[in-house]
Amino acid sequence: MRYFKYAIAFLATSILANETINIEDDFLQSLNQVNQVAAKTKLNRDRTTSLINVLQGKKLQKLGVDNVYEALRYIPGIELSKESTGTKSVIFRGSITKGEVKFMIDGVEINNAYRGSFYYFLDFPIELISRIEVLRGPGSVLHGSGAISGVINIITKSSQDSSTDNNEIFLSGGSYKYGKGGARVNIYKENYKLSVDAYYQENDKEIDSSDQRFNDYSTGLNFKAYDFEFNARIKDSTRGNAYGVFNIKDTNKNNYDNTNQAFYSNLKYSSSVSDNNDLKITLNYNKYSQIIEANAGIYLKSDFEEETYNTNFELVNTSIEGNEFLIGANFKHNNSLKTGLYGHPTESNIVLPNLDRDIYSAYVLNNYLLTNNINISLGLRYDDYSDFGDNFSPDLGLVYRANEDMSFKLKYAKAFRAPSWTELYGLNANPNLKAEVSENIEFGLVYKYESSGRISLNTYHMLIEDYIQSIAGVYSQESELDIHGVELDLSYNPVHNIEFSLVSSYSDAKDKYNHRIDYVANFLTTASLIYTSKIGLVFGSTLRYTNSKDMDNEAIFDQSISYNYKDINIKLIVKNMFNSGIIYYDSAHNETNPIKDAARVALIKASMEF
């Protein structure tokens, strides 16, 4: 009976299901989603050999989701966690290392060379997101380093082409003095489109005497004219160090914090150069900086900055019947600009100064329709890194369509992660590190029930060799990570005004000595229900359950209620309604000294289109 109250609350919004409101549009769109960025194909997601999820921004808002971090819990196999510094982290298929997930905004890679991290974009607001594409499993054949356990691509509303997309302004406020405001403006003319968005958010959170305040802002631009597209974004976030960088709580909010600033600009040319050839060329510039001021018994400050130049060429050829060839080449250059470490008796560096990295890549992927029911995918990628060596990433897949409603998928692939600059050249570095390489095999089935439901069930085995971890204060590759898992993804629309979703997963991660990886959940389940009444009230309910062998079981219930009046939307959101304690663990924080997060949180949101 322990979780009876959660079940009652979750089912409460469905008892009025005798009404009939047509809310199928978002549901049908998700069933037939065409994925063009995470998997770089125009095939329906169920006809690709990869396992792909597409989360619609409109649906996520109905469920009370506030940002990217919260949205990812609706993907099977993803566990959300936090480090002792308050930094958000994503554990994908039991893999906890930074840089083993590729993260993109509108197709622009965010992961840095410094640590491979992207956490500073996880608080990007849901109000500016059109959809989130997630490729579960290996993706190195198209995306190179870091795509070991998955690829996440955030598609902003500003990047979309619809001339019917309105301007929007949004505001919200809630617990811990949280506040957010932002807007999006579009200008459409015959041959061009200009979109600009911006937001600012902050809170003053303090939990267990730990400094978890933050402020964050971003502004982005997207311009399209003829065959050209230019997009740029700057994002700046500052947050407290929570339980401390060195597990010493920062007592002075004026002296200690973690500031991340990211800027990118991306120019893309795409055109059909002939009946059977589509060309895409992109030029990209990224700049990232991080300043950490921390309490290490003495005042300590690190000041790091890097920049990245990237050029990519892709040609899609369909001249051979039944074949789609994707041929690509990429050049990337990383270099460090600042590497300072201050606070020691003498000035030092957080990593070696004047770092450079050149990456040359070439790849090919062929989607071949063998018969009307069998599709085969064959791919190979080669990457050459100037600072540690090269790597090949093969990718083989098969889709068998038993009928219009059921298909089976089988995939074998290798993926890799290049060692970060921190691992190669940092304070505990090992310059002899080579790439982590994963070997993956997956099998899955997809079943669609007419227009009202879809179920995906898959199993996978992932072996990461030359696994990089810190042992006795030095990075080494003495171990491997062996992960088995099962994932379930269910969507069902029993009547027109109810949409039910369930994602669930099991993973078992062990090292080469058969020891479990500490503080990684075994079972993850998220169930959600959206109910729309005739008078326009929308109820969004989410129940999350986490089970692990070395952590307390956790059940969290979230509820949102929203109402639309013409172009105005008002929402009331309560997260963790039953005030369950949310805690996280790491090597320095166990059951007796956990990392504590907010309990019950309330939000009020308002938005208007114009």
> Which pLDDT value is given to residue 17?
42
Q: How far is CA 136 from CA 496, 522, 526, 556, in A?
A: 30, 17, 17, 24
pLDDT band at 209 (very low <50, low <70, confident <90, very high): confident
More confident: 544 or 496: 544
> Which pLDDT value is given to residue 24?
42
pLDDT band at 584 (very low <50, low <70, confident <90, very high): confident
Say how far apart CA 341 and CA 45 lie, in whole Å: 47
Mean pLDDT of the chain: 91
pLDDT at 162 over 80: no
pLDDT band at 21 (very low <50, low <70, confident <90, very high): very low
CA-based nearest residue to 449, from 11, 46, 18, 43 = 46
pLDDT at 293 over 90: yes
> Which pLDDT value is given to residue 517?
86
pLDDT band at 586 (very low <50, low <70, confident <90, very high): confident
Q: What percent of the residues of the chain are helix, what percent strand, and what percent coil, each to the nearest 5?
A: 10, 60, 35
- What are 298-310's pLDDT values in tens digits? 889 999 999 999 9
CATH for 350? 2.40.170.20
pLDDT at 6 over 80: no
**Which whole number is the average pLDDT over 370-396?**
96
- Asked if 202 and 214 touch (Cβ cutoff 8 Å), the reply is yes
pLDDT band at 30 (very low <50, low <70, confident <90, very high): very low
Nearest-5° Cα angle at 155, 446 to 288: 125
**Which whole number is the average pLDDT over 539-550?**
90
Written as one letter, the residue type at 463 is L
**Which whole number is the average pLDDT over 86-109?**
92
**CB-based contacts of 427: which residues, under 8 Å, 6+ apart?**
350
> Which pLDDT value is given to residue 40?
67
Q: Which two tokens stand for residue 250?
A: 């920062």
pLDDT at 373 over 50: yes
For 406-452, the DSSP string reads EEEEEEEEEEEEPPPHHHHHBTT--TT---EEEEEEEEEEEEEETTT
- Asked if 597 and 82 touch (Cβ cutoff 8 Å), the reply is yes
Q: How many domains in the chain?
A: 1
> Which pLDDT value is given to residue 462?
98
Mark 456-495 as b/e (b = at least 16 C-beta within 10 Å): bbbebebbbbbbbeeeeeebbbebbbbbbbbbbbbbebee
Residues pairing with 332 in the sheet: 310, 359
Q: How far is CA 591 from CA 168, 515, 551, in A?
A: 45, 19, 8
pLDDT band at 22 (very low <50, low <70, confident <90, very high): very low
User: Quick one: how far is CA 326 from the chain centroid?
Assistant: 25
Other beta carbons less than 10 A from residue 249's beta carbon:
16
**Which whole number is the average pLDDT over 559-568?**
95
- What are 384-438's pLDDT values in tens digits? 999 989 999 999 999 999 999 999 999 999 999 999 999 999 998 999 999 999 9
pLDDT band at 26 (very low <50, low <70, confident <90, very high): very low
Domain that holds residue 244: 4-609
pLDDT band at 163 (very low <50, low <70, confident <90, very high): low
CA-based nearest residue to 22, from 542, 439, 452, 517 = 452
pLDDT at 41 over 70: no
Mark 151-177 as b/e (b = at least 16 C-beta within 10 Å): bbbbbbbbbbeeeebeebebebebeee
Q: Is the dihedral of CA 97, 100, 101, 105 positive or negative?
A: positive
**Minimum mean pLDDT range among 17-26, 273-282, 543-552:** 17-26
User: Quick one: how far is CA 182 from the chain centroid?
Assistant: 22
What SS3 class is residue 266? strand
Q: Is the dihedral of CA 516, 544, 485, 67 positive or negative?
A: negative
Q: How far is CA 404 from CA 201, 420, 446, in A?
A: 46, 45, 11
